Amino acid sequence: MARDAEAAGLIKPLDDAERRQSRIDTMAARPDGADIWIFGYGSLMWNPAFHYVERRIARLHGYHRSFCLQTPIGRGSPECPGLVLGLDRGGSVQGLALRIAEDQAEEELDVIWAREMLAGSYRPAWVTLVDEAGGRFHAIAFVMRRDCERYAGRLSFEETADRIARATGRLGPCSEYLERTVSAMDEIGIADGPMHALRARVRALKRELEGHPDE
């Protein structure tokens, strides 16, 4: 899928050497004594695709969950790009921290970098999380790069809902991504009113698009 997107000029993937160097640089900046936690705020909560040995619900201050990354192939098309989540500046966000075992770090981080750093839309950064007991610990978070050409900026609530309701890509409907993210949040008890409001609006828009507005 990435090769097709590159051939069509939709994205410019990082090559293996660039991803590897990004991972090396990130681990070189690892705080002293820190375990290797990965902060999930979107699909990493319901489809991490890597092995972990512990998880915690945790909050990150200074960033919020936002549908700010346009996707022209995975959850959308060139004609109707979808939107997926990024960590954008401001506010705070609650998500799921996943700890990787030290003896599995190289293999599992390689999997994560191949997924999260496919096209360099995010910037890996060590951040400080706060768990439900008030404990503070370090984790790697993939933060939205505002200089990325696919950064959507701060869209209105209605525009975001409309694009999610309409877009479909090779990985399925954009609305499915939203549904699975909110369901994962519900399962682990993460409250996020804007995400629930967005899901309700997208459901209503999809009913209208399908000709069943009153259901």
pLDDT in tens, 183-202: 999 999 998 889 999 999 99
pLDDT of 172 above 70 = yes
Residue of 13, 18, 38, 1 whose CA lies nearest to 138: 38
Angle at 191 between CA 97 and CA 59, to 5 degrees: 35
| pTM for this model (two decimals) | 0.92
Active-site hit among 54, 106, 116, 208: 116
Q: DSSP characters for 154-191?
A: S--HHHHHHHHHH-EETTEEHHHHHHHHHHHHHHHT--
Known catalytic residue at 116: yes
CATH number, domain 2-208? 3.10.490.10
Q: Phi and psi of 184, rounded to 5°? A: -65, -40
Mean pLDDT across 99-118: 95
Over residues 75-100, mean pLDDT: 96
Q: Read off the tokens for 62.
A: 């200074």
| CA gyration radius, the chain | 17
> For residue range 15-58, what is the model confidence (pLDDT) as tens digits?
899 999 999 999 999 999 999 999 999 999 999 999 999 999 99
Bridge-based pairing state of the strands 172-173 and 82-100: unpaired
What integer pLDDT is reported at residue 215 of this predicted model? 62
Residue 73's pLDDT is 87
Q: In this predicted structure, what is the pLDDT of residue 10? A: 67
Rounded distance between C-alpha atoms, residue 183 and residue 172, angstroms:
17
